[in-house]
Structure 1
Amino acid sequence: MTSRSLFHYGAIASLIALILLSLAWELLLAPLRPGGSFLALKAVVLLLPLMGILKGRVYTYQWSSMFILAFFTEGVMRGWGDSGLSQRLAWLEVALTVAFFACVVLFVRSVRIENTRAAARR
């Protein structure tokens, strides 16, 4: 397994885990209101980059690296301000966004290095 595919699968896994966490958090585990919260719709927003990430599209990787920062910010704010289970879920969100961001950046970097080497061989 190459480092490129490792970063690709890491980005996929962390994004899917973040989607599932968002749904579970806002519908079952610690919703803002009993019975669920409309904040579960944030999981729908996370579906926007999913197909491009699954297909390994570099452009999707590039814009999703900025897109994910909103979820990082939410996790930090709720981790700092919430308590109990919601606080732990927020810090898990932070960890997943950091993992996704790192995998995205390293994937794009490995693609660029690979493209540079291929161009040098020509």
Structure 2
Amino acid sequence: MAPTTFKLRWLALISYGLLLGWVALWQLWLNTTHAYSALFILLIYALPLLLPLKGIVQARPYTHAWANFITLFYLIHGITVAYAVPDERLYAIVEIILASAMFTGCSMFARYRGRELGLGLKKTSKH
């Protein structure tokens, strides 16, 4: 693995772990309004992040690529909360930063590692 790819892998791994931890911390302990049970909150906020866990740990480029679709949920959530809930704006900004870092790390790692492994979309020939 090239040094740049290695650094991008660590950016994706670290931001993924921090985002997962932050979401759990925020929703279970820092949130002041507990309208739902802890199990429901974990299912809604943490479970989606656990779906790509195996592939991200195993450094699979394809998993890093599709994990970005999940990351967008957290980016949208953070932006919405930052705008609509002034009391939780700081928490939302942390979520936005971590989701952006994960998105960048996963996207760039998938691109660089995919090229190293010869993966990618095949170009169609023009007739």
TM-score range, shorter-chain basis?
A: 0.7 to 0.9
Which runs of no fewer than 5 residues in structure 1 stay unpaired? 117-122
- Please report the RMSD computed on the Cα atoms of aligned residues, expressed in angstroms: 2.0
User: CA–CA distance in 2 between the matches of 1:107 and 1:60?
Assistant: 10
- Counterparts of 1:10-49 in structure 2, within 5 Å, are 10-33=11-34, 37=38, 38-41=40-43, 42-49=45-52
Kept in 1: contact 2:22–2:95 (CA 8 A) = yes
Could you tell me the TM-score, scaled by structure 2's length?
0.80
Kept in 2: contact 1:26–1:36 (CA 8 A) = no
Q: % of aligned pairs identical?
A: 26
In the other structure, the counterpart of 1:119 is none
Structure with the higher fraction of residues in helix conformation: 1
Tell me: CA distance 1:43–1:22, structure 2 relative to 1, closer, same or farther (3 Å): same
User: Which runs of 4 or more aligned residues in structure 1 lie more than 3 Å from their structure 2 counterparts after TM superposition?
Assistant: 34-38
CA shift at 1:112, angstroms? 3.2
Q: Secondary structure at the match of 1:68?
A: helix
Which runs of no fewer than 5 residues in structure 2 stay unpaired? 119-127
Kept in 2: contact 1:26–1:32 (CA 8 A) = no
Tell me: CA distance 1:36–1:23, structure 2 relative to 1, closer, same or farther (3 Å): farther
* Paired residue type of 1:112: G
In the other structure, the counterpart of 1:120 is none
